Structure 1
Amino acid sequence: MMRISTSGTPRWMLGTAVCGVLITGCSSGGDGGDAKPQAKPAAEAKPLAAGALRSLLLTQADLGSGYAQAQEEPGEEKFDDISVQGCPALEKLGQSGEENMFAAKAEASFTYDRDATLGEEVHSDRPSVLSSKLRELFDAYTSCPTYTMTSGTTPIEVKVSKSVPPKLGDEQFAYTSTMELPSGAQVLKTMAVRKGNVAVMLVGAPALVDRHIETAVGKLPAGS
């Protein structure tokens, strides 16, 4: 059994696992031919500061009527008692969790019509780091079609399927999770889009994620 640390995995991904669901660098090799002068690779864009990311988050004005922003108490740790069984890739991901997955982040969460949820995180890092870590994260979460998530002493059966994201930004990732909760099945979609050195992630009711992902990506800097 693997215990997931909230310090190594985005908070909203763990939150969705309880409410109803969420590193390696790139490497390159060369052939053994004659050594030739090579142009110096272009420098990668540096991460943005966390303060700059906050202005990129969705707001109630962006979302429209019916949404309320959820407030979280500083230092609140809601998901320390989450564990996963039956998915080796997720176990490995949890065991190798880093204190900070990306260089900077900002986050917000909303409720819609009182019972639907939409969570957002905006992350920044060097483009190669964002790309490799997002790919590893989504590969892990889609590697097992079923697994068991335990919240405290309550086992939750989870079914996962890959989803087709819209062609936005430089890279896109998406999957849909169905949780068998005591109150009934709940379906959530997780989607991420990377644009240069910034990535936006949405998770929540599938219709809400699909409705707002284009707006969320549209708030990212054009030159990021």
Structure 2
Amino acid sequence: MTMPRHQASQPVTVSLQAGPTGAGDIDDFELFYARRAVDRFRRRLGRQGLLDLLAADIEEGNTFLRQSALASEGGFKGGTTVLQTQGLTAGEFLAWMEGAFAGDEHVLLAAHPEHYVMAPGEGGAFHVVENIGPHVCSFFMGGWGTDAMAWAKDADALLPDADFPHKMSSNLFLADGTVVGRALTQFGDTADGFTAHLTVYVPTACTQDVLEHHLRHFAVEFRNWIVAAAAVRA
């Protein structure tokens, strides 16, 4: 009996034909269960448990960022993720964000599977443990609106205030003060919602892949934060 040859050029596809009655496809189902599983582990471990579990990864990731910053000699390269929202204003979203960043760590963590810590730190800085590219890193954001943010006034991604009046900028720095990145987020209302320009800068010594993955990271986390803000308003 001759067995049929495998056609390497023909992609294998699977489609759902019957069974579940809820909305969505297999990818939607998998995403729901993945989020539920990640949330369970986060809650069981708690913040300190996650830090203990990831200690070696964080040390490796922070070493990567520190060495990249030193090799770049203060140089940064950036990219921007643009999101378009309908049905919610920039002001409504940013009011929700202000409340979330003031103390709702759970909703901040839930926005991305690779969020591990998002909590207020000392001196007004905000502590973040998340992936920068493939590296798990522990860093701080702070100094919004201070002289330390003077770089934002000349940023290549800066947009006119007339169209994007809501702006936030920050340095990303390690516990020892080493600046390892920058962030500039700009929001402007449209006729039926708002546009978000989300710019991140990484040390020039980083590969393009590191920047690319953080642009994807922005897309995931901000989309989910916007959806969460809309759900509360509704």
TM-score, structure 2 normalization: 0.31
Instruction: Name the larger-Rg structure.
Output: 2
TM-score, structure 1 normalization? 0.33
Higher strand share: 1
Structure with the higher fraction of residues in helix conformation: 2
